[in-house]
Chains A and B, each alone.
Chain A
Amino acid sequence: MFKTTRPLFLAATLAVTWMLPATAETPAPQESTFWATEVNAGNLPPIQDRLPSEPLVVDLAAKGRDFGTPGGTLRTMVTRSKDIRQMVVYGYARLVGFNENYELTPDLLESFENEDNRKFTLNLRQGHKWSDGTSFTSEDFRYWWEDVANNEMLSPSGPPDFLIVEGKPPTVTFPDETTIVFEWESPNPDFLQTLAQARPPFIYRPSAFLKQYHDKFADADKLKLHVDDARVKSWAALHNKLDNLYKFDNHELPTLQPWLNASSGKKIRHNFVRNPYYHRIDSNGIQLPYIDVVELEIVAPGLVAAKTNAGESDLQGRGLAFRDASILKKGEAGGNYKTLLWKTGVASQIAIYPNLNFSDEGWRDVLRDVRVRRALSLAIDRKTINQALYFKLAHPGAMSVLSASPFYDEANAQAWAQYDIKMANTLLDDAGLSERDKNGIRLLPDGRPMELIIETAGERQEVENALQIVTDTWREIGVDLVMRPLDRDILRNRVFAGSTMASAWFGWDDGIPQAHTSPAYLAPTDQVFLAWPKWGQYYQTGGDVGEAPDMPEAERLMQLAHDWEVATTEDERKAVWTEMLKIHADQLYAIGILNGAPQPIVVSNRLRNVPEQAMWAWEPGAHFGIHRPDEFFFAD
């Protein structure tokens, strides 16, 4: 009897979850003018056949936004040709996504169930379709899991890291067309958050399209023809080349994003047109996105502000910095736009990372001395930097979380961040660096002058200006700062190789963590935290390259990050977060200068539904993504 009731019960709950939006009255969908001609010509099915049977209905009024009218072309700019992937970031169609309160809500998924962070059931929308009209079903997940992630040719390193818990992959099952179940032996609390990232791990693939290029499914002769045609070595190379849901550079690859790439190859200007199969509609029945075409232009970095000032962009955040604010304000009348100031969500706008894995032994020992790092931090005149660079609008302080995070602690934010030359000098004297040369520069234990070389990515003038001010104040504690501007990629490679003494970069991407956010980025788990590249490599490669963390505080951070993974209650997670932030505030692995810097956002006067005040953050938030650009529209 039990056996028969259980499926029944399941079916009933499923039915209820499907019914729920239906009771809220799914409005009758309306055909958009953009695709009307195609529909009338019979090239495209009518709107009710393109939408999932239960589309995601957005009640804009409840969100405090206006209902829009479809149409228009949105012009925006990026600075590198590979940045067309920003359209995946801004589109922000994820299996689950953050809403404006940073809570996880189903997006592409109709619903999900989470049992103790061990078993996740993902329910797709019935009748959901890719942008080429093929069905989006559990087969797409199966294809990815079995034929891509676990295919040695396509993924030599196996499934992505975030799915491996305690060294074990999940069991993935596909009970029916719309259900996928991920199950682990140990909890994987970060699973859903990872799916909502700005750069999400795509755990599904358009299988109908990609099977043409998979040797398990494709006809061998045809595949060989394709491979030769593309001039690549193997079918796997061809498959990987075409399979770029994130890079967005293959216009033939179906997508689920609100806009699809309509330009092939590399161009100066890329057009993205509305996805006829997009799953979201407003409560009037109009399919989102409101905007028909997004025109993405690739321009030189120095020109973004100038072109925006001339009114050549309808929505621009990327490529603008606060120092452009005055020029943007000045052009408002002529360019028919307004300049909003959002808050940046990074933990620190400018942070100096002393490299604890620097290859020079003498220097490494000095930089590993916490007194030295504290002295360097104390000798930064943050108030002056704030005034000179950010009009006093940013918050001077060490690198910690922002006040919007529940873990914000004033003591952490101000730890070793007051301007105190005397104390800094005492700390350095205590650290055994009391000898000075004739210019007043301190000498290292091995007799070299203390010339601290900070390498920068050379792309943000504000960093160079800030370091210029730091140079003056560090001279008073006998430290000679030498700034070396490099290229972003060269800088990273040099840091990863251990040949950089110190570098300047942003702080943590996520400055507003919640208890459900994984604190892995506070621990030495990734080389991109520029203070411990070797420790990060050690963890990332499972010990093949790099060095194991050999400072007690770093080891403690690793332990805590693991504690968070296995924690079962909210309180435990909060305790882990608090302790990790305390360690960072105390140890100053990165010396933050200020945070919460204003980010100018230029919005055309015709564009509606763009929030006046918001957070400009890559993670979580995907820059514009969390504010749902598919709901923006032109009023005219």
Chain B
Amino acid sequence: MTKHPDGRYVDEAPFDPNAALQQLERADLDAPNWILVWRKFRTHKLGLISGLFLLLCYLMLPFAGFIAPYGPNERNGEHLYAPPQSVNWFYEGALVGPYVFPIVAEADLETFQWKFVSDTQDPRPVRFFCEGAEYKLAGLIKSNTHLFCAPEGATLFLWGSDRLGRDVFSRILYGAQLSLTVGLIGITVSFSLGILFGSMAGYFGGKIDWVINRVIEVLRSLPELPLWLALSAAVPSNWSPVAVFFIISIILGILDWPGLARSVRAKFLSLREEEYVRAAEMMGASSGRVIRKHLLPNFMSHLIASATLSIPAMILGETALSFLGLGLRAPAVSWGVMLNDAQNLASIEIYPWTAIPMLPIIVIVLAFNFLGDGLRDSLDPYQQ
């Protein structure tokens, strides 16, 4: 420290602008946004658990074929409408590892139901890392090794089998591949369109705003059911179910953007009058940069929250369409297709397990809702 002739003291060390940041009380305030969000999110227990659960579900998707003991359309003609089999560990007091009893179907000509008799004298251990139906790992690598399969000469229907003797458990796993991704593709399409058109309308205003608003109004006024009917008739019948599914999810997205565009536009109309936007414009930032760097981040909490909230709507939408016979069709396997098959009194009264695909739908939709709830609370960390 030196004393100047005029009596002032000046520090000779160069000024370090980061020093202030390193002080303890600043650390919290100036931490990157995501850390703040994460800290807040961690306190939201339900959201956290839901998020982890969904993460697991999506990580499982490429390996569905590996986890499922049977193929999606593998029929077992001898075991139609087999009830769920229980897997036990102890047999006559001794640990034999997971095993099942073989079941034999008998036609009951009084009730016209298949009666299943399990041979309780013959416990057969479940096999692990065994060979079964061929599948593609992550859609690329051919394999036929399964995590676990039915013992030789027995079956392993964890959640029962359906009217053609197909394993409900395996079909739910394969169905997840379609049902969980149809939401994502649709959301991606609808969000990119919604943000693009909404921000253009809100930021530029004037003629662009007018045109986009009219388009939104026209799209919203279209009656949906006749539209679906027309679309389902227009899809060529020799397309593979996956191609049909892809088109359907994109159409779902294309029809879904106007709602989001409206709210983006409204928010941008007010944000563009803010001082910092003016400042950025005066410094010569292009419109695109202003929108991306200055306006959108302000709006992120709303966007992410509404995205998580509309994914369930998309999943249910696909299900509703399959339910109407317009969406995915057999031999594609999705939860909607499976529920469609279970749409009769017999399934509820006599074979309740064919309606099991309801459960994953309920669980996934709830998980997405809790996750969205948690994210909405935590994305604005400064707001208490």
Q: Which residues of A contact B (CB under 8 A)?
A: 302, 305-306, 309, 323-327, 329-330, 384, 387-388, 391-392, 451, 453, 455, 458, 464-465, 468-469, 471-472, 482-485
Contact of A388 among B77, B343, B349 (CB under 8 A): B77
User: Which one, B325, B331, B345, B346, contacts A468 given CB within 8 A?
Assistant: B331
A288 to B345, CA, bound (A): 37
4 A-B pairs with least C-beta separation: A325-B112, A327-B346, A484-B237, A326-B112
13 A-B interface contacts by CB (under 8 A)? A309-B345, A323-B346, A326-B350, A330-B349, A387-B77, A387-B80, A388-B77, A388-B164, A465-B163, A468-B331, A472-B73, A482-B237, A485-B329
In angstroms, Cα B63 to Cα A629, docked, is 60
Contact with A along B120-161 (1 / 0, CB 8 A): 000000000000000000000000000000000000000000
Interface centre among B110, B325, B330, B346 (most CB of A within 10 A): B346
Q: Which of B75, B325, B343 contacts A485 (CB 8 A)?
A: B325
B107 touches A391 (CB 8 A): yes
Contacting pair A388 B325 (CB below 8 A): no
B62 within 8 A of A: no
Instruction: Assess the A327–B163 pair: CB atoms within 8 A.
Output: no
Closest chain-B Cβ to A408's Cβ sits at a distance in Å of 25
Known A326-B113, A329-B112; contact A392-B73, beta-carbon cutoff 8 A: no
Query: Is B75 a contact partner of A469 (Cβ separation < 8 A)?
Result: yes
With A323-B346, A327-B350 known as contacts, the answer to whether A468 contacts B112 (CB < 8 A) is no
A570 to B163, CA, bound (A): 48
- In the complex, B381 has a CB within 8 A of chain A: no
Task: Say if the beta carbon of B23 comes within 8 Å of chain A.
Answer: no
> What per-residue 1/0 map shows which CB atoms of B309-346 lie under 8 Å from chain A?
00000000000000001000111000000000001111
Whether B113 contacts A464 by the Cβ 8 Å rule is: no
Cα distance A455–B233 when bound, in Å? Answer: 13
B164 and A469 contacting across the interface, CB-CB below 8 Å? yes
Which of B109, B237, B350 contacts A330, CB < 8 Å? B350
Contact of A302 among B111, B112, B343 (CB under 8 A): B343
Contact indicator B238/A451 (Cβ below 8 Å): yes
In the complex, chain A residues whose CB is within 8 Å of the CB of B350: 326-327, 330
Residues of B within 8 A of A471 (CB): 331
What CA separation (Å) do A209 and B107 show in the bound complex? 57
Q: Which residues of A contact B163 (CB under 8 A)?
A: 323, 388, 465
B199-213 Cβ-contact flags toward A at 8 Å (1 or 0): 000000000000000
B165 at interface (Cβ–Cβ under 8 A)?
A: yes
Check B344 against A453 for contact (C-beta < 8 Å). no
Main secondary structure of the interface of A (DSSP, over half): helix
Chain B residues engaging chain A, CB cutoff 8 angstroms: 73, 75, 77, 80, 107, 109-113, 163-165, 237-238, 325, 329-331, 343-346, 349-350
Contacts of B331 in A (CB 8 A): 468, 471
Let me know if A329 and B164 touch, CB within 8 A: no
Docked Cα-Cα span, A314 to B229, in Å, equals: 37
Bound-state CA distance A330–B329 (Å) is 31
Chain A hits for B111, CB < 8 A = 326, 329-330
> Are A388 and B73 in contact, with the CB atoms below 8 A?
no
Q: Are B330 and A388 in contact (CB under 8 A)?
A: no
**Complexed CA–CA distance, A468 and B77 (Å):** 12
Cα(A309)–Cα(B109), bound, Å: 18
B78's closest neighbor in chain A, by CB?
A: A387
B165 / chain A contacts, CB cutoff of 8 Å: 388
- Bound complex: CA of A453 vs CA of B235, how far in Å? 14
Partner of A384, one of B77, B237, B349: B77
Contact of A453 (CB < 8 Å), options: B237, B325, B346: B237
Q: Which residues of A contact B73 (CB under 8 A)?
A: 472
* In the complex with contacts A305-B344, A465-B163, A329-B238 CB distance below 8 A: no
With a 10 A CB-CB cut-off, give which of B110, B237, B329, B343 has the most chain A CB atoms: B237
Given known contacts A388-B77, A388-B80, A472-B73, is B237 in contact with A324 (CB within 8 Å)?
Answer: no
Determine which residue in A302, A306, A327, A387 has the highest number of CB atoms from chain B within 10 A of its CB, and name it. A327
Among A326, A388, A391, A458, contact of B346 (Cβ-Cβ < 8 Å): A326
Q: Report how far A464 CA is from B75 CA in the complex, Å.
A: 15
Query: Given the complex, which residues of B lie within 8 Å of A309, measured CB to CB?
Result: 345, 349
Name the contact of B325 in the complex, choosing from A305, A391, A451, A458 (C-beta under 8 A). A458
- Measured CA separation A330–B350 after assembly (Å): 9
Tell me the complex Cα distance, A141–B330, Å: 54
Assuming A327-B345, A388-B80, what are 6 further A-B pairs, CB within 8 angstroms? A302-B344, A326-B111, A326-B113, A388-B164, A472-B75, A482-B238
**B-side contacts of A453, CB under 8 Å:** 237-238
Q: Are A329 and B346 in contact (CB under 8 A)?
A: no
Pairwise interchain contact B107-A465, C-beta atoms closer than 8 A = no
Cα A302 to Cα B275 with chains together (Å): 63
Residues of A within 8 A of B75 (CB): 469, 472
CA distance A464 to B164 in the complex (A): 11
| Complex Cα spacing A306 to B345, Å | 6
Q: Which residues of chain A come closer than 8 Å to B344, judged between CB atoms? A: 302, 305, 327
Chain B residue nearest in CB terms to A332? B111
A391: B residues at CB distance < 8 A? 107, 109, 112
Complex contacts, A324 vs chain B, CB 8 Å: 346
- Which residues of chain A have C-beta atoms less than 8 A from B238's C-beta? 451, 453, 482
A468 touches B113 (CB 8 A): no
CA–CA, A326 and B109, complex, Å: 10
Residues of A with C-beta under 8 A to B329: 483, 485
